[in-house]
């Protein structure tokens, strides 16, 4: 018993020391301005822990708040979280009900959470929002309205989001603008195109992190991720620690970003 207690104290001390060391190291380098997070492995984590899959999303939801705070403390200005893909909409009704319930709690918390005001975070939902229920759409609008005064930090919440759908939606808007005579076809270039995306020409992600060991983007920010550094980690989303995030940033800082040059 006493041995276990000593062991846990020692481990805690080592962990804290390592976290501080990493933090100092990372603070000396160039911080990514925009990070994309693919929050994967929630159900697998829950099953391994002996919980129901829904519990995985509940723990995952709590972890989102923790990780966002780490990002804001580090001075990362834009964070995009992949909460629900268009493919995820085919999951069982029970699972979707639980995810939408959590999303509602999340947007309600944005309206009340002092951290949003403290870090001056502008919130924007991106995706096929029209497929969501009226209550959720209303909460999203309220959260966006309440935070539109902020420009310091930005949080994009990708919900009912698909990268191909986003590109198709942008294409339709561009065709409409051309037909109305508001846009000349010869003026369409990458810059103009990106302004028609849900992210409206905002800075592309410098770094995209996916948890759970899966190594693919699953349509996440399909256009915007063209030159992003990708970092895949084996840990499941609910168990991600600050040292995992710091290691990802350290790896990003060590990689030489050349944009094809």
68 annotated ligand binder: no
Strand 153-161 versus strand 34-38 pairing type: unpaired
Whether 225 and 217 have beta carbons less than 8 Å apart is answered as yes
Where do the H-state alpha helices sit in 29-133?
Answer: 42-49, 53-74, 93-112, 114-118
98 annotated ligand binder: no
Other Cβ atoms within 10 Å of 97 Cβ, number: 11
Q: Could you give the CA distance from residue 119 to residue 19 in angstroms, rounded to a whole number?
A: 22
What's the closest the beta carbon of residue 218 comes to Mg ion, in angstroms? 8
Regarding 98 and contact with ligand FPP (CB under 6 A), the answer is: no
With CB under 5 to 8 Å by kind, the binding choice for 106 among ligand FPP, Mg ion, none is ligand FPP
Q: Is 206 a catalytic residue?
A: no
Regarding 219 and contact with ligand FPP (CB under 6 A), the answer is: no
169 annotated ligand binder: no
- Torsion angle of alpha carbons 173, 178, 181, 184, nearest 10°? 130
Instruction: Pick the closer one to ligand FPP by CB: 196 or 231.
Output: 231
User: Given the structure tokens 């369409």, which residue do they identify?
Assistant: 188
- Give the active site residue among 4, 24, 88, 97: 88
* Closest of 174, 89, 160 to residue 130, by C-alpha: 160
Pick from 25, 54, 86, 88 the residue near ligand FPP by CB under 6 A. Answer: 88
Instruction: Pick the closer one to ligand FPP by CB: 135 or 176.
Output: 135
Q: Is 88 a catalytic residue?
A: yes
Q: Could you give the CA distance from residue 253 to residue 33 in angstroms, rounded to a whole number?
A: 12
Instruction: Pick the closer one to Mg ion by CB: 40 or 166.
Output: 40
Pick from 32, 61, 77, 228 the residue near ligand FPP by CB under 6 A. Answer: 61
Site mask, ligand FPP, residues 176-215, x = CB under 6 A? ------------------------------------x---
- Give the active site residue among 24, 40, 138, 244: 40
At 34, list the tokens.
């925009």
Number of H helices, E strands in the chain: 9, 6
91 annotated ligand binder: yes
Site mask, ligand FPP, residues 22-41, x = CB under 6 A? -----------------xxx
Whether 72 and 153 have beta carbons less than 8 Å apart is answered as yes
The burial of 8, by beta-carbon neighbours within 10 Å (0-12 exposed, 13-18 middle, 19 or more buried), is given as exposed
Instruction: Pick the closer one to ligand FPP by CB: 143 or 248.
Output: 143
182 annotated ligand binder: no
The burial of 133, by beta-carbon neighbours within 10 Å (0-12 exposed, 13-18 middle, 19 or more buried), is given as exposed
Which positions make up the binding site? 40-45, 57, 85-87, 91, 210, 216-218, 229
- Which residues are the active-site residues? 40, 88
Q: Applying CB under 6 A, which residues contact ligand FPP?
A: 39-44, 57, 60-61, 64, 83-84, 88, 99, 102-103, 106, 212
């Amino acid at each position: 018993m006493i041995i276990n207690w000593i062991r846990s104290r020692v481990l805690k001390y080592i962990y804290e020391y390592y976290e501080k060391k990493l933090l100092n190291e990372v603070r000396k380098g160039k911080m990514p301005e925009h990070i994309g997070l693919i929050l994967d492995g929630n159900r697998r984590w829950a099953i391994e822990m002996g919980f129901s899959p829904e519990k995985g999303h509940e723990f995952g939801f709590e972890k989102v708040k923790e990780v966002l705070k780490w990002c804001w403390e580090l001075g990362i200005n834009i964070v995009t979280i992949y909460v629900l893909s268009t493919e995820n909409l085919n999951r069982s009704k029970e699972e979707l009900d639980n995810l939408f319930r959590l999303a509602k709690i999340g947007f309600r918390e944005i309206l009340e959470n002092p951290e949003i005001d403290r870090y001056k975070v502008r919130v924007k939902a991106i995706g096929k929002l029209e497929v969501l229920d009226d209550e959720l759409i209303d909460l999203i609008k309220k959260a966006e309205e309440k935070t539109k005064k902020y420009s310091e930090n930005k949080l994009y919440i990708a919900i009912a989001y698909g990268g191909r759908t986003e590109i198709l939606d942008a294409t339709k808007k561009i065709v409409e603008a051309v037909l109305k005579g508001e846009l000349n076809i010869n003026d369409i270039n990458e810059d103009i195109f990106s302004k028609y995306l849900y992210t409206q020409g905002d800075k592309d992600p410098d770094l995209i992190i996916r948890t759970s060991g899966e190594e693919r983007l699953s349509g996440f920010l399909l256009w915007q991720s063209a030159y992003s550094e990708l970092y895949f980690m084996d840990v499941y989303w609910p168990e991600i620690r600050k040292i995992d995030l710091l290691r990802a940033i350290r790896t990003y800082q060590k990689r030489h970003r050349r944009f094809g040059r």
